[in-house]
Structure 1
Amino acid sequence: MYQGIRISGFGGQGVVSAGILLAQAGLIDGKKVSWLPSYGPEMRGGTANCSVVIASDEVYTPIVTAPDTVIVMNEPSLPKFEPLLKKDGLLIINSSLINSKPKRTDIKVIYVPCNEIAEKLGSLKVATLVAMGAFAKATGAVSIDTIASAMKAVFKRAKPEMLELNKKALEEGAKAAD
């Protein structure tokens, strides 16, 4: 099993944290993982992205040049990362912020209104977790429960009610991926 993932969005959306969370979930599952952030000078407000690999065998490079899955959380990320996606790969689009449609027809696309779902849950901060739930449901690379377990290690200072909200975001994202 090998799952190369690119996650991209505005700085401040939690894209880098989402990558750490997926990598930690992979570790909990006993898989080999890597995580490589890329935010350069953009920082908060600019486009940030990260590469994550979750695999059953050794990971030889943290760079994901031809991802199996691309998760785009903002409009500028779609034209930048869609072309990198492998044929028959998965593209998860935050349809709350992205109005454009993908150009490719050789990929699977899931539209998830991440921000809309997060707002209904009470916090825009969980929008990327909604996307993580959709990813878990669509790929099976990691489970919702494993991601929820990983949150305790990654978000060490989070209050129990925030961890519960995060888990609800994961679950709602999984439902949206159906």
Structure 2
Amino acid sequence: MPKQERITIAGFGGQGVMLIGQILAYAGNEIGKNTLWFPSYGPETRGGTANCAVTISDEAINSPVFSKANTLIAMNLPSLDKFYLKVLDNGNIIFNSSLIKDKELESKANIYKIPANDIALKLNNPKVANMVILGAYLEITKLFKD
């Protein structure tokens, strides 16, 4: 794990983006890291926009806000459009290709298209799309493999 991993997770309310952030922060705490989960909601609850920032660090975390993330997890197109330029070069952009079709990004980050909704439907549980993309993130980054 890098000294500090900064993750932006974004999507519509109801897609489970906050749960992804909470799970990552909790997992970081469980292995003795300093963690911070910082939620941000749009005016609506379900169907509105929601995003959170998670920082997992070996050192003290000075601020819940960061200008560039190591990784963006985007569950929908508005979130991808809003945040993809705020990812570090050689960082990761992971997005739900079930809902984001034919999107070309001009970015120096690594881009991963994960059909999270399609995989969740194959599991007969459309509500687990967030866990599908969380699993993809963990496999891509090897965040807790140390």
The runs of 5 or more residues in structure 1 that have no matched partner are: 144-178
Q: How many residues align?
A: 143
Partner of 2:60: 58
Contact 1:15 1:49 in 2 (8 A): yes
Q: Report if the CA contact (8 A) 1:82-1:102 is conserved.
A: no
C-alpha distance in 1 between matches for 2:136 and 2:21: 14
Give the counterpart of 1:92 among 80, 91, 94: 94
8 Å Cα contact 1:93/1:111 also seen in 2? yes
- Aligned residues of 1:51 and 1:62 also touching (Cα < 8 A): yes
Cα deviation, residue 100, structure 1:
4.2
CA displacement, residues 41-72 of structure 1 (integer Å, 9 cap, x when unaligned): 13210111000011111111111320000000
Letter in 2 for 1:40: G
Counting strand residues as a fraction of each chain, which structure ranks higher? 2
- Secondary structure in structure 2 of the residue aligned to 1:62: coil
**Percent of aligned positions with the same letter in both sequences?**
44
C-alpha displacement of 1:94: 0.4
1:142 Cα deviation (Å)? 2.6
The runs of 4+ residues in structure 1 deviating greater than 4 Å are none
Q: CA separation in 2, counterparts of 1:70 and 1:31?
A: 20
Task: Report whether the alignment pairs 1:126 with 2:128.
Answer: yes
SS of 2:89's equivalent in the other structure is: coil
Gaps of 5+ in 2: none
- 1:80 is matched with 82
Matched, 1:109 2:111: yes
> Paired residue for 1:70?
72
Q: How does the TM-score come out when normalised to structure 1? A: 0.77
Sort the Cα spacing of 1:116 and 1:140 in 2 relative to 1 into closer, same or farther, 3 A.
same
Matching of residues 149-168 of structure 1 within 5 Å? none
| Residue 175 of structure 1: aligned partner | none
Q: TM-score, structure 2 length as denominator?
A: 0.93
RMSD over aligned Cα atoms: 1.2
Shift of 1:102: 3.9
